[in-house]
């Protein structure tokens, strides 16, 4: 709790009475429009001048007034979810996810330099927008579009606050560059980081589609996509470096027609499907959140067995390539860093 809101809130926002104190954000900042009133939390709406009364989870647990007591106890009382996860990691049952972004820049053309143009203004204060005289730069974007959109089964990762969060594709750029003479000098290229994996990224964020209904346990604890291993453990679209054709082939799989064209061009540096974050051996294959260096996959790169004596291995952090298809509900697998447990084959 805090006795005073932030100075910027006092200067530019609406100051509400503190009542029993201003609540603090996850970063420790006083929320000037969120106050405590006894055992309730009051959220003031600046736009509508209304106030909304919220009941805290602590109060609900104390009074045992859960709407779904069994699910609530498993998710928020018996486990470490509250301490290690964003609420919306579970309460976002679907997430809009934009994967892959084909981007073409043509240096035989020019485009507006939107960084320099705002600095161009006349003695009377009129701007480049007013005169329609912009600063120009070599190169013009001539095409940009996403590969595909998914709504279900968002992968999970660790955000900059150190908490589990949904991940979404951002601008996972696949670049094509045309030089000033009109020649293609870069084709379908995915940049690499110094660490050796794809510079395209999955970003942790709040998707703003929070619902009362949460994801089921198995949606995360029995789902390789949630763990970052990709669709079907990375089997789907596992070879993007090969062009895809949709035509008649002979018995050896060769295209019959000499006029056949690739339906999906090869992306040679791409690690696999755009949603995949980890290999089956636990190696990271693309970036998570370039803004926060502490963002990371759910699983580290070291092998860790839950109980070698019971021949159990965990999909977190490493996924045995020899596994049964169904996870086992074993008490030895309740370690908070464990996502899935599979019996190993002899």
The Cα–Cα gap between 285 and 199 comes to 9
Written as one string, the DSSP assignment of 303-326 is ---SBGGGTEEETTT---SS--SS
Q: Is 10 helix (H, G, I), strand (E, B) or coil?
A: helix
Residue 98 burial (C-beta neighbours within 10 Å; 0-12, 13-18, 19+): middle
CA 3 to chain centre: 35
CB 278 within 8 A of CB 284: yes
Per-residue model confidence as pLDDT tens for the chain (346 residues) = 999 999 999 998 888 999 999 999 988 999 999 999 998 999 999 777 899 999 888 888 888 888 888 888 888 877 878 888 999 999 999 999 999 999 999 999 999 999 999 999 888 889 888 988 999 999 999 999 998 899 988 999 999 888 999 999 987 999 999 999 999 999 999 999 888 889 999 999 999 998 888 888 888 888 888 888 888 877 878 888 889 888 999 999 889 998 999 988 899 899 888 999 988 888 899 999 888 888 999 865 322 322 222 323 344 333 333 333 333 333 333 343 444 343 333 3
The Cα–Cα gap between 90 and 216 comes to 8
Report the candidate in 165, 312, 135 with the shortest Cα–Cα distance to residue 228: 165
In terms of phi and psi (left: phi > 0; alpha: psi -120 to 50; beta: otherwise), the region of 139 is left
Taking residue 121's Cβ as centre, other Cβ atoms within 10 Å add up to: 14
Q: How far is CA 109 from CA 19, 129, 134, 286, in A?
A: 61, 21, 15, 32
Q: Pairing relation of β-strands 136-150 and 173-178?
A: unpaired
Residue 89 burial (C-beta neighbours within 10 Å; 0-12, 13-18, 19+): buried
Please name the residues in contact with 50: beta carbons below 8 A apart, sequence gap of 6 or more: 44
Cα torsion 181, 185, 190, 195 to 10°: value is: -120
Q: Pairing relation of β-strands 40-44 and 341-343?
A: unpaired
């Amino acid at each position: 709790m805090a006795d005073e809101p932030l100075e910027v809130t006092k200067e530019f926002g609406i100051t509400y009475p503190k009542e029993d104190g201003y609540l603090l954000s996850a970063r420790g900042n006083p929320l000037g429009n969120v106050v405590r009133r006894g055992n309730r939390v009051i959220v003031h709406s600046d736009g509508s001048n209304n106030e909304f009364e919220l009941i805290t989870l602590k109060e609900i647990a104390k009074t045992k007034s859960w709407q779904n007591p069994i699910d609530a106890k498993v998710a928020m009382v018996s486990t470490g979810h509250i301490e290690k996860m964003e609420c919306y990691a579970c309460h976002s049952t679907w997430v809009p996810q934009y994967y892959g972004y084909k981007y073409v820049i043509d240096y035989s053309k020019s485009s507006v330099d939107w960084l320099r143009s705002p600095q161009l203004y006349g003695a009377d204060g009129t701007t480049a927008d007013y005169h329609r005289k912009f600063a120009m730069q070599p190169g013009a974007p001539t095409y940009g579009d996403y590969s595909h959109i998914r709504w279900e089964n968002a992968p999970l990762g660790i955000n900059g606050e150190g908490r589990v969060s949904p991940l979404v594709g951002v601008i996972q750029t696949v670049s094509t560059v045309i030089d000033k003479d009109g020649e293609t000098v870069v084709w379908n290229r995915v940049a690499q980081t110094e660490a050796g994996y794809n510079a395209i990224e999955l970003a942790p964020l709040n998707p703003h589609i929070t619902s009362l209904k949460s994801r089921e346990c198995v949606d995360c604890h029995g789902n390789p996509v949630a763990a970052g291993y990709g669709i079907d453990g990375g089997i789907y679209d596992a070879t993007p470096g090969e062009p895809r054709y949709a035509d008649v082939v002979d018995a050896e799989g060769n295209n019959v027609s000499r006029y056949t064209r690739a339906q999906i061009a090869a992306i040679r540096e791409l690690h696999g499907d755009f949603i995949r974050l980890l290999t089956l051996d636990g190696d990271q294959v693309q970036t998570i959140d370039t803004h926060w260096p502490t963002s990371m996959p759910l699983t580290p790169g070291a092998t860790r067995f839950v109980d070698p004596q019971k021949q159990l291995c965990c999909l977190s952090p490493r996924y045995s390539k020899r596994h049964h298809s169904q996870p086992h509900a074993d008490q030895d697998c309740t370690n908070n860093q464990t996502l899935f447990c599979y019996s190993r084959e002899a």
